[in-house]
Amino acid sequence: MNIKEGSVIASKYKVIKKIGTGGNGTVYKVVSLNDENNIFALKIINLNYGKYYNRKYSYSDCKNYERKKYARFCDEIKVVQKYQDKVKGILPIYDLYVPKEPSEDNFPWYTMPIAVEMSEKLKEYSFEQKIASIFEIAKILEKLHSKEIAHRDIKPNNIYFYKNGWYLSDFGLVSYPGKKALTNAKEAIGPKKPNTIAPEMREDSKNANPLCADIYSLAKTLWMILTNKDIAFGGQYNHKNKGISLGQYIKREYLVTLHEILTVCTLDIPGERPTAEQLVNLLQEWFEIKNDFSKRCRKEWDFIIKEVTPYTPETIVWSNIEEIVKVLDLVSQTKSYNHMFLPSDGGLDLNGCILSRKQGFIELNEDGYITLVKPKRLYMEIFGYYQWNYFLLETEQLPPCGLYEYDNADDVYEECVLEIEPDVYIEPYHLNYGTYNGIKLPDNARKIYFGLKGNYVIFPKDSYYNFNMKSYNALQTEYETPLKFKNFIKETIKFLRWKEDNPEKYDKLMNKKKREEEKERQEWIALHNKEENQLLNYIQKFKLTRNDCNRKDKDTRFEYTVSVQIIASFELYLNVDGILRVKEDLWDFESLINGTDRKKDYYKFYDFEEAKICSTEIKKYLDISLANLHTISNEADCHIDMKRLMGPRHLFTKEEIIEALKKGNDNYYNRLVINKDGYIELIQPKEVEYLEIFKYPVLGYEFPAKNNMVGETAPIDRYIEDVYLLMLDAWYEHLRCGENECLSDYVSLSQEELLKEINCELNKYTL
């Protein structure tokens, strides 16, 4: 039946709107006529009263479907009212009307609180929160089952969120002790969709164990909410079935225990499913293992072992490429076991493995980077303790593809290329232009890496190898063959066992090693002090050969000072007497705070070329001595610092930057600079002598070679606003302090604000 909005029911409630309908009832949102703040959900059973009063059947005849429906409606009310205050998690009934002889004018109903449907609430939930919701429902089931009450129709549509907790609703198919049988032999109950009803409930619900059926339905509900599917899979769960496996929908989460839960809860034989209490424990175990990395690693390793072999050998070797892909892809799905150490150095998480379009190759997804390798063999080594178990992928050695030139190709482990079709590769920079030889790149063009040689190895993430050995140094490649690496691991395990069994001998050995290392350290310090004194004596002999470099007149626009960096804690400067001195305080905070001249003792040059000549002279002088030292840098690093005395003649514009970028040659590395007069220049730093770079007040935006950011075809309009803003900010900072500047990491002012500040700073200078 259909109740119109605004209708009044039982002189108590006014209908606001319909909020849901199903096979057995319709739910309306209603407001109490006594208190407009009291809003409820009112459920009316959908009965065909013509069939209900069909004289073909007696009123008690269980073949009358409409009468059975009403009886179940009454059973629902009876159970809910009896247990709603005893078992938290049953959506309560507040008010009701159950006439003995229902009719269209005298229809039965009950009210319950307004609650949020599970499907709606879960939209804001994380993966873990979704499992926690099922965990809460499982605990409700545990309490109900302890009283031999079964819901028999668990699905997302019958689960609601109310008062900060989860509640079961719609107990129309409830089973409880002493209930009058309403189901015929071999009669199925429950809807065909969403596939949550246990198979035995479809075949012979009267004789089926309803408690076991609840477990089946809750497992299907768990799968539905984790995969965001409206209909559950049919039959038993099997994680190897890619169509239903959680691994196809969920990445980088702990799934092993969930695979086990879904498998055992959907077994065809009801008695082999866990009880509600056991299911609660299994879900509790998921949380415990998820938050305990060591337990998780062990669990995932055991899972992998079961998948790849029915027995536990010491070594398993795969040479079939399809089997290699299958095993590596399985490993990639276990978050605690998918960190892969690379052939040259470093490591990345393995996120997948597939057969490549290139014959004989596989594709490794390394944190989003696709690497093609030609596998030789995959080894799984199993030791007594899982932390030492590992997978080692041995690859074929391949020649370079020919796109690049190398001084020594033996040092190359991989090449980055752009694949435009299988076996057709070009340089990756073409991706920046979208074309190759004037032709648009195909949509499936992709940047990949070619593995040329070396081995990969995977250990558990919590293993000793990952945390306490030089695992990022590609030991699996350094030891050349899988057998040599295995022997190295065996020797390491043997040593660690000896260490555990012989702590005193180990401590004695370590103390001896520490003494030897301390002796080496003291010898190095002594040599360093000796060489430092030797260098200081040599430095003191330097004297600037020219004293006519610091003439200043009214048109002098800059002054320059020279400093020399040898090691991080050893900096020199040329003082007013033309002598090199060690800078005592590398961080002169006093002058920064007081605003005093922190370079008052420095020799001042007023011509950049003179400062450059002097720097060259100093470097040549120091390098002679440094070449013979062992603990100090072998080369002096000279710097020329500027101080602006007069204002610039020009303020660059955005249009000037655009013009400079258009004239650039994208085949080279370029950099925007601002010269001493305030004009924009685009230079190629590799073509500029090192000291010459210091003549620019601002070293600005950098443009890598072949990146399509300079030149006539570059899409300059995409980034010009950012470039202009950064250059303005650097120019403002230069004018403010008068010294050399580079780009800031963060700009807080707008273009308009910066232009205003620049004009204020310009007023401080004479032109």
Segments making up each domain of the chain, as ranges = 8-113, 120-291, 312-481, 509-645, 647-762
Is 543 known to sit in a ligand binding site?
A: no
pLDDT at residue 585 in the model:
66
Q: What is the pLDDT of residues 690-714, one digit of tens each?
A: 899 999 999 999 999 999 999 999 9
Band (pLDDT 50/70/90 cuts) for residue 25 is confident
Q: What is the pLDDT of residue 59?
A: 45
> Pick from 292, 366, 360: which is nearest to 331 by CA?
366
Pairing of strands 375-381, 369-373: unpaired
Is the model's pLDDT at 203 over the cut of 90?
no
Identify the CATH assignment for 8-113 out of 2.60.40.10, 3.30.200.20, 3.40.50.300, 3.30.70.1450: 3.30.200.20
Fold match flag (8-113 vs 120-291): no
Query: How high is the pLDDT of residue 549?
Result: 62
The lowest-confidence range among 55-69, 119-133, 636-650, 670-684 is 55-69
- Sign of the C-alpha dihedral, residues 600, 613, 585, 529? negative
Band of pLDDT at residue 185, cut at 50, 70 and 90: very low
Cβ atoms 527, 571 nearer than 8 A? no
The string of DSSP letters for 55-122 reads: TTS-TT-TT-HHHHHHHHHHHHHHHHHHHTTTSTTBPP--EEE--SS--SSS--EEEEE--EEHHHHG
Q: Please state the rounded mean pLDDT for residues 236-249.
A: 90
For domain 120-291, which CATH number applies: 1.10.3720.10, 1.10.510.10, 3.40.50.300, 1.10.150.120? 1.10.510.10
Q: How far apart are CA 602 and CA 575, in angstroms?
A: 4
Mean pLDDT value across residues 491-517: 94
As a whole number, mean pLDDT of residues 84-109 equals 93
pLDDT-derived band at 344, boundaries 50, 70, 90:
very high
DSSP element (H, E) containing 487: helix 482-501
pLDDT band with cut points at 50, 70 and 90 for residue 55: low
DSSP string for 248-277: GT--SS--HHHHHHHHHHT-SSGGGSPPHH
Residue count (the chain): 767
Q: What pLDDT digit, counting tens, does each position of 350-391 carry? A: 999 999 999 999 999 999 999 999 999 999 998 877 789 999
User: Structure tokens of 767?
Assistant: 């032109």
Average confidence (pLDDT) over 679-696 = 94
How close are the terminal C-alpha atoms of the chain, in Å?
91
Question: What confidence score (pLDDT) does residue 87 get?
Answer: 93
- Residue 311's pLDDT is what? 55
Determine the pLDDT at residue 21: 84
Is 80 exceeded by the pLDDT of residue 593?
A: no
Which pLDDT belongs to residue 308?
A: 72
pLDDT in the model for residue 748: 93
Instruction: Kindly list the distances between the CA atom of residue 142 and the CA atoms of 137, 310, 453, 762, in Å, as whole numbers in the listed order.
Output: 9, 35, 57, 79
8 Å CB contact between 662 and 705: no
- Asked if residue 591 has pLDDT above 90, the reply is no
Percent of the chain with pLDDT over 90: 71
Question: Rounded distance, CA 251 to CA 391, Å?
Answer: 21
Stretch 495-523: mean pLDDT: 95
Helices (H), 309-388: 321-332
Confidence bin at 599 (pLDDT 50/70/90): confident
pLDDT at position 190 over 70: no
Chain-wide mean pLDDT for the chain? Answer: 90
